[in-house]
Structure 1
Amino acid sequence: MKIMLHAINFSPELTGIGKYSGEMARWWAERGHEVRVVTAPPYYPDWKVWPGYSTRWWHKQREDRVTVTRCPLYVPSNPSALKRILHLASFSLSSMPVVLSQLRWKPDLVILLVPTLFCAPQALLVARLCKARAVIHIHDYEVDAMFGLGMARGKGLKRLAYWLERSIFKAFDKVSAVSVSMLQRAEQKGVPKDKLCFFPNWSEISRFQGVKRSPALLESLGVDPARKVLLYSGTIGAKQGLENVIEAARRLRTRSELVFLIVGDGAGKARLVDLARQYDLDNVVFAPLQAYDVLPELLASAECHLVVQKVGVADAVLPSKLTNILAVGGNAVITADPETNLGMLCSDYAGIAVRVEPESVDALVEGIERALAMPEKNTIATGYAQEFLDKDKILTRFLAEVI
């Protein structure tokens, strides 16, 4: 089968959507499907195009049995609401001729990853002209996140944005999403139930089983292995609200046995580093994103994992980092309201994680104390991962449902 994947984020990005889009493309290619990807040069979470990639020219090459065409785009160093829109629109425009050129190839399946909705018209056009199945897979609800974070305002603009979103979703043959609550939201937006498909993020379970704490890795990151590690690993941006983690570190600074390890990059990192320096905190260590090969050891080296998001984001954006935390048997503190997908996960599977109120330093500190009191290995988390997050099971089922 010929599969065209249209995604702004792709390998070798290590976090978020790029990680999953790269893994799914390679998985399909390894099983005999012909896969073409239209994407951008890697830039996330740094918001800077990586060395060795161009922002001005198109580039096509074979990567792990997959044909990948990278299209130039505008990448703002300090992304504001307007700059983000220009960023997404620039990729839509630059990728349009590449997507339309696939008419000669005639794909059987066209998959668009969201973000970005700006690319929907050309993806739909190719699918219709080639009589291919059209699938839109939702990682982020762009419109919800934009208004939830206050990046856009105005009743008229809001009505227009939601009308366009609903129209796009209904035009695709299938609408998939990474969580049940996100599928419910799609249904509330007017998508027929028979079009919906559950396509959660996954974990390579076998890579994370039986992994032990690595003192050597902690030392290489500047952390004393004798201390208990409170780990945040992932993107550092507006959605996370990591200032509260710094405030929690400030309150716990007298606990000499604890250290906050913040691993990652993003537009908000410099602000966090400045804040920790301003408070003169010696219990906060910053480190760059680590290679995927060392991720199991990194996660296994933490006594507590911090899965932190702002109010209004927890249900629109499912944090991809959580799948691997569960697979390694980590004890996580999750900031989410009870009615969100993350909140329901914690209530439906008691003991899988500690849920606390978002944007509350008091609640975060209390949650950390509760997580530190839990057994070293969370068997409820590993059991859930083995049953629901296995990569092979998820990708096999998804492909069977959409074709």
Structure 2
Amino acid sequence: MRVLLVGINYAPDLIGVAKYNSELCESLVTEGHEVRVITAPPYYPAWKIPHRFSSSYFRTRHIDGVRVTRTPIYVPEHPSGAKRLIHHASFALSSAVPALANALSWRPDVMIAVAPSLMSAAFVSFVARRVGAKSWLHIQDFEVDAAFDLGLLRNGSLRKWMLRTEAAILKSFDHVSTISQPMMDRLILKGVDFDKAVEVRNWIDTRAICPASRMTKYREQLKLGETDIVALYSGTMSRKQGLEFVIEAAIGLEQSHPHIRFILAGDGPDKTRLEQLAAGHSNIHFFGLQPKESFNELLATADFHLIPQKAEAADLVLPSKLGAIFASARPVIAMAEEGTGLAAEVIGAGLVTPPGDSSALQAAICQLSEASALREHYGEEGRKRALDRWDRQTIVRRWSEVMADERKSTGAMGIGPTSANDNIGLPVEDAVRLP
């Protein structure tokens, strides 16, 4: 098939949505499809375009078999709610011309839009109908809900208008997919038909991310030994993660548990503030984004991983780092409300504490730091789940098959099991379970 993807994030950005857009397209090429991408220059999570990409607009390059065209975009240095709206609007406008040109000249079989950014998605479904292509919207997070629930935007009238616009966009696509069962439930509540909804998990390459020795170059760099316990956060550093609770827990344990060290690896608009909060505390260490070839070693450094999350972000997104943590055979402590998608994924492979409660997080950290057998048990269970539910090759191949089947049938199928006992490819009526 010919597949045209329009998405704001793509390689060489290393984390977040860019990683999955890139790996999806590369895997589709491996499956024998022709793939083109309309995207922006890399800018995330530092919110800064590298100098070498500042003059690459509307130029086309081939990356691992994928034809990639980059368009101009406004990137705010300090991304407030209003500036984010302008940011996404700039991509919607600049991507429209190359998206239309490719659709008319190349005639794709499937046009995929990835949210974020939802603003550019409306034009994708419009063009797909005009050229006879199937349209597919893939939602990595519910950006409208997140913007208001996290306080980035506050105007009630604007929220109502944006939700109406979102509903119209969702209904305009032949299929709408998202990355977890609770997010599937939210799609249905937003009015997406059962036969249009598809679950597509954020996968992990379980061959590249695998169990390894905890005595890594990162421990050597920090002069940490066998008896030191490492609690690791790796990923984007922004407001919705609630990383200040990790800092609070670390400060609270500094005197009583000096052998527990905290590593925060990554980048993002909140990193400077977090470094200021942690200043003067010797048990908290920061690393920048690590190269892809070192990622497995970074994950292996941890005795357990931390996934903080604010209560307002529950079920708006499933943290993509979870699959990698499981694949590395390390346990996890997640801050999540009981009954949320994140809590359901973690129970049995780690501990769950209430969001926003740094005291509960401290207690969970102490519990795991003192129980090596429990850490090993949770790690083994996580690895098992990664192989069963998050394997990249299996999930992407099913996505490819569903897109091919879509040319012959209007039926939709789930991609990626919703529980340990589910099978790949359940009809969505079986996969979606409303409360």
TM-score, structure 2 length as denominator? 0.89
Q: How far apart are 1:198 and its partner, in Å?
A: 0.7
Matched, 1:148 2:149: yes
Work out whether residues 235 and 264 of structure 1, in 8 Å CA contact, stay in contact via their aligned partners in 2.
yes
CA contact (8 A) 2:40 2:72 kept: yes
**Counterpart of 2:299 in structure 1: which amino acid?**
L
Go from structure 1 to structure 2 and tell me whether the alpha carbon gap of 1:146 and 1:55 turns closer, same or farther (over 3 Å shift). Answer: farther
Aligned to 1:266: 268
- Mapped partners of 1:216, 1:392: distance in 2: 30
* 1:289 counterpart residue number: 289
Q: Does 1:375 align with 2:375?
A: yes
Q: Deviations over 1:218-271 (max 9, x none)?
A: 334x35244211101000001111111111111011122111111011000000
- Residue aligning to 1:337: 337
CA–CA distance in 1 between the matches of 2:11 and 2:215?
Answer: 26
TM-score (normalised: structure 1):
0.95
Structure 2 CA distance for partners of 1:333 and 1:55, relative to 1, 3 Å: farther
Q: Distance in 2 between matches of 1:174 and 1:399?
A: 14
Q: Which residue of 2 aligns with 1:300?
A: 300
1:56 Cα offset (Å): 7.4
1:364 and 2:332 are equivalent in the alignment: no
1:4-23 alignment runs, 5 A limit: 4-23=4-23
Unaligned runs of 5+ in 1: none
What secondary structure does 1:44 align onto?
coil
* Residue matched to 2:208: 207
Q: Deviation digits for residues 279-301 of structure 1, max 9, x if unmatched?
A: x2000111101112111111111
| Deviates most, 151-160 or 355-364 | 151-160
Structure 1 residues 1-400: aligned runs within 5 Å: 1-54=1-54, 57-102=57-102, 103-220=104-221, 222=222, 224-226=224-226, 227-254=228-255, 255-277=257-279, 280-346=280-346, 350-372=347-369, 373=371, 374-376=374-376, 378-400=379-401
In 2, the alpha carbon distance for the partners of 1:131 and 1:393 equals 28
The whole-number CA distance in structure 1 between the counterparts of 2:314 and 2:291 is 26
Question: Please, which moves more after superposition, 371-380 or 324-333?
Answer: 371-380
Distance 1:160 1:326 in 2: 39
- Mapped to 1, the partners of 2:352 and 2:213 lie a distance apart of 25
Contact 2:114 2:121 in 1 (8 A): no
Distance 1:150 1:8, change over 3 A: same
Task: Provide the rounded CA distance (Å) in 2 between the counterparts of 1:370 and 1:235.
Answer: 26
Q: Which runs of 4+ in 1 moved over 4 A?
A: none
Counterparts of 1:43 and 1:223, CA distance in 2: 33
Contact 2:61 2:67 in 1 (8 A): yes
Q: Deviations over 1:364-386 (max 9, x none)?
A: 11121233222336111111111
Q: Aligned in 2, Cα 1:267/1:223: closer, same or farther, shift over 3 Å?
A: farther
Q: CA RMSD in A?
A: 1.4
3-state DSSP of counterpart to 1:77: coil
CA distance in 1, matches of 2:56, 2:35: 25
- Count of residues in correspondence between the two structures: 397
- 1:322-362 deviation digits (Å, cap 9, x = unpaired): 1100011111011111121112223xxx4212111001111
- 1:358–1:245: structure 2 CA closer, same or farther, 3 Å change rule? same
In 2, the alpha carbon distance for the partners of 1:56 and 1:145 equals 31
Task: Report how far residue 144 of structure 1 moved.
Answer: 0.9
Gaps of 5+ in 2: 407-435
Could you say what secondary structure the match of 1:334 adopts? strand
Report the more deviating stretch, 66-75 or 148-157.
148-157
Residues 72, 94 of structure 1: 8 Å contact kept:
yes
Structure 1: how far apart are the matches of 2:165 and 2:138?
16
1:315 CA displacement: 0.8
